[in-house]
Amino acid sequence: MKLNNSNKIIILVFGILWVISSLIAYNQAFSDSREAFLEKGIALEESEQFLQQFAQVNSDTRSENTPTMPELIEKIVTIIQRLDAIYVDDVDYGKLMEDAINGMLKGLDPHTSYFSPDDFKNFTSSTKGEFGGLGIQIDKKGDYITVVSPIQGTPAYRMGIMAGDMIWKVDGEDITGISTDESIKKMRGEVGSEVVITVIRPGVKQPLDFKIERDIIKINSIPYSFKLDNNVGYIRMSQFNANTSKELSESLDALETEGIDGLIIDLRFNPGGLLSEAINTVNEFIGKGKRVVYTKGRIEYANEDYFTSKDIMRPDYPIVVLINEASASASEIFAGSMQDYDRGLVVGKTSFGKGSVQQLFPLRDGSGIKITTSHYYINSGRCIHKIINDKLLAGKSVTTEEKEDIDKFNHEHIYKTAQGRTVYGGGGVTPDIIIEADTLSRFELELRRKNFFFDYAVEYMTENSDNVDLDFSISDQIFNEFINYVVLKETEFKAKEAEDKKDNSISLASPIDLTNPRPEDLQEAEDYIKLTLTSEIIEKKFGSQEGYKIRIQMDNQLQEAKSLFDKYKTLEEMFEHSNIQKS
């Protein structure tokens, strides 16, 4: 049946009212629970009822110059009438509707967005903790999809994808300018299939290509928990999912049974997760009835205080919390709260600054919208959210002067912990002690990017597995064999690449020549190569945690955090040391 002009306009306007009514219903849910509100948010149907509600909700906030709802609807109808009457081609009203919604939400902030039915299904399934893909946390910065952090133990992490990598191409297709959701579709695929990711890496002149095999991504919240050689416990927390507080409690029970003199909680590259789990994990260390975080938004429903509720508190051994620029959201709440209650010394680099709260709203046709409703504030009054990130994620440029102004703003806004220590606000969590991270040389980076360590370890273990124990280390002979292996494989690869160029295959050439390593590169990288090979071989024989114990010997941030326990026996002594550092 062909619709006449009036029916087209009525359907489109009703569709727009349907979406907006879901937003307005939010404002009226002051006393409802979240579950009840979500049901109300998608149940409202009558446009007349909606108009009455809209007028009531907005009567106190609308300025004299703000158009009324009838005026806005009249404007929409007029535009659609003109398009329908004189536009050069037939108008796809479904697409027009989605474009209108996208434009309306896009102008608010980078985290408020619309999902088509397929996109909404993919997005909600990815939050369940298991999906097929590469294993990277991404966000859009300017025109580029940028890696926030690779997830430990996943294909992307093993291949050497790094935080800050800007994804330029997927299987040779330029994805510059596309949305985050579109890029996810292109990178996900059948388990076992391969995809080539081309990235632009800051500080590296030429683009880098990574051929990665897709896999099921299963994430353990706490992949590593063990005791260091100075009797300090170490817990690596990779995200905050539904099992985090349970895993943390079990890890702490085991470490405390062994006997520990202190604890390091490593939150680097932790993108966050569930707010409830951030609160429950803090609860382990500060006890019941303490406010951890509160939210502030435009409407009453968005303003809420969150307290610890479990009657539990661990012994008061000193704790160091390790963060970096990729620690975000719930991990920032945990680190900042441990700082606020003087229960842990925070070290590393200032965290990412993701402190906005979003809620998902499913719509009747299977589509959905994600809306920013409030910002997080931790107990000291510090807002976690870094406003400059919204500007970057929206594709806007940020000048050096703006960054300097923000740093100045952060250090001018002083807050106090429970014991009166000075901490800073303005976005992200500023550590008590700054610790810089080491970077790889270009030669070391190429060895890791081309996956030589992993491949050599597999071949080595095929013939030498029985000779490998936990005390295994790389001898000079094995080191030289590895370098010869690299030269041989790279020579074979270049020959194949030269052949592949005939059919325009994607180039995976190294930006430096691995067929003839320079002596100075080998000398500089010797320790890194030996430890990395040892780690890979130990991991193949004894599991990922034993291999990880070897790798952290090269982790200067962790080693400096560990050394604090050798210098200072109490948390108070660590606080005093950090005060001297700050001054």
pLDDT of amino acid 53: 44
Q: Is 174 left (phi over 0), alpha (psi -120 to 50) or beta?
A: beta
Q: Please give the distance of CA 329 from its chain centroid, rounded to a whole number.
A: 8
pLDDT, tens digit only, all 583 positions of the chain:
444 555 555 555 555 555 454 444 433 333 333 333 333 333 333 334 433 444 444 555 555 667 777 788 888 888 888 888 898 988 887 888 888 888 888 878 888 888 888 778 766 654 554 567 898 878 887 788 988 768 777 899 888 887 778 899 999 999 999 988 889 888 988 888 899 999 998 778 889 999 999 998 776 799 999 999 999 999 999 999 888 999 999 999 999 999 999 999 999 999 998 899 999 999 999 999 999 999 999 888 889 999 999 999 999 999 999 999 999 999 999 999 999 999 999 999 999 898 888 888 888 888 888 888 889 999 999 998 888 877 777 777 778 888 777 777 777 778 999 999 999 877 889 999 999 999 899 999 999 888 799 889 888 988 898 999 999 999 999 999 999 999 999 998 888 777 766 555 545 555 678 999 999 999 999 999 999 999 989 988 888 899 999 999 999 999 999 999 999 999 999 999 999 887 7
The structural domains of the chain, ordered by start, are: 5-106 (no CATH), 130-218 (2.30.42.10), 224-438+559-582 (3.90.226.10), 442-554 (no CATH)
297, 299, 300, 306 alpha-carbon torsion, rounded to 10°: -20
Query: Which residue numbers are catalytic?
Result: 329, 340, 354
Residue type for position 461: M
CA pair distance 292, 516, nearest whole angstrom: 56
- Tokens linked to 275: 């707010």
**Three-state SS string across 113-171, please?**
EEECHHHHHHHHHHCCCEEEECCEEEEEECCEEEEEEECCCCHHHHHCCCCCCEEEEEC
- Contact indicator for 107, 365 with CB cutoff of 8 Å: no
CA pair distance 13, 20, nearest whole angstrom: 10
Sign of the dihedral through C-alpha 225, 230, 232, 237: negative
Cα angle 401, 406, 407 (rounded to 5 degrees) comes to 100
Angle between helices 452-464 and 519-542 (to 10 degrees): 60
Residue 420: phi and psi, rounded to 5, are 90, 10
Contacts of 82 (CB under 8 A, 6+ apart): none
